[in-house]
Structure 1
Amino acid sequence: MTQKKIPLRKCVGCQEMKPKRELIRVVHSPDDQVFLDPTGKKAGRGAYLCKSLACFQIAKKKKALDRSLKITVSDEVYRQLESDLATVKADG
Structure 2
Amino acid sequence: MKQRKIPMRKDIVTGEMAPKKQLVRVVRNQDQEVSVDPTGKKSGRGAYISLDVDIAKRAKKERTFDHVFGVKIEDTFYDDLIAYVDHQQARRELFNND
* Range class of TM-score, shorter chain: 0.7 to 0.9
State how far apart, in whole Å, the 2-side matches of 1:3 and 1:68 are.
Answer: 34
- Tell me how far 1:87 sits from its aligned partner: 2.3
- Tell me how far 1:49 sits from its aligned partner: 0.6
Q: Secondary structure at the match of 2:27?
A: strand
Do residues 51 (structure 1) and 51 (structure 2) align? yes
Q: Secondary structure at the match of 1:79?
A: helix
Flag structure 2 segments of 5+ consecutive residues without an equivalent.
93-98
TM-score (norm 2): 0.77
TM-score (norm 1): 0.81
- Tell me how far 1:34 sits from its aligned partner: 1.9
- Tell me how far 1:2 sits from its aligned partner: 6.0
Do residues 68 (structure 1) and 68 (structure 2) align? yes
2:96 maps to none
- Quote the sequence identity (%): 39
Give CA deviations for 1:2-44 in whole Å, capped at 9, x if unaligned: 6433222111222211111211111112233222111111111
2:77 maps to 77
State how far apart, in whole Å, the 1-side matches of 2:67 and 2:3 are.
Answer: 34
C-alpha RMSD over aligned residues: 1.9
Bigger Rg, which one: 2
Q: Structure 1: which amino acid aligns with 2:67?
A: R
- Equivalent pairs counted in the alignment come to 92
Q: Secondary structure at the match of 2:30?
A: coil
Q: Secondary structure at the match of 1:76?
A: helix
Asked if structure 2 preserves the Cα contact closer than 8 Å seen for 1:12 and 1:47, the reply is yes
Q: Secondary structure at the match of 2:49?
A: strand
Q: What pairs up with 1:1-92 in 2 under 5 angstroms?
A: 3-92=3-92
